[in-house]
Structure 1
Amino acid sequence: MKMNNDYHHIYDLCKKHMHSYVLAETTDGSQLDGIITGLDDEYVYFAVPIGPDEHQNMPSLEDYRQFGYGYPGYGYPGYGYPGYGYGGYPGYYRPRRFRRLVLPLAALTALSILPWY
């Protein structure tokens, strides 16, 4: 698909700041900060930091015990010895720090670089 000239400026800005931490403003006035991870003729792909309140959706030990599978990473019931298996320590998971967000180029009105600190 051929890109509209109206979006060519924002496309060039996104391409110039690829893999940079930026502040993006959308047509509805909302702002988001994140890292530009990808770009094509229609969409911009961001890695947006996850706030502390968003970690509540991560699995907990109670979620795994509810279905009878034991701790995460320890296989299915009836396989291997109890307490042994693949996956590391019981109840440990590496929390995600970013989530993926895809925005159309048409939704962006401004883009500015932010410092990492």
Structure 2
Amino acid sequence: MSAPTSNPTSGGRAPAAGVRFDTPETGATSPGDQGFDALAAWELNPKVALRPEPFGALLYHFGTRKLSFLKNLTVVGIVQSLADHDSAEAALASAGITPAQRPLYVQALTTLADSGMITRRAA
């Protein structure tokens, strides 16, 4: 498994651990106000389309019209596998994420949750 390839930068964008947002804020309330909990069950938001690309993937949210780029194939795999696991923590373990790598991937998932790209699964 590879480690995330980008570092956070300033300028109003949130590129945490291979996640880059290139669209301006729409003024809508954040769908991720629920907070990210790695022990909870998560899934790709049903309003989000994921399109694999050679660099990673494009995520498009049909509700907010937000476009996101995942520039890390491991993050793409984790996002795609979230629905198959009881928790985000289980998805990270299944992807072979080490304890040293875990904070970067949790940060990426937190960013995706805060933007509404992934949502908690109903119990």
TM-score normalised by length of structure 1: 0.28
Q: Which has the higher strand share?
A: 1
Q: Which has the higher helix share?
A: 2
TM-score normalised by length of structure 2: 0.27
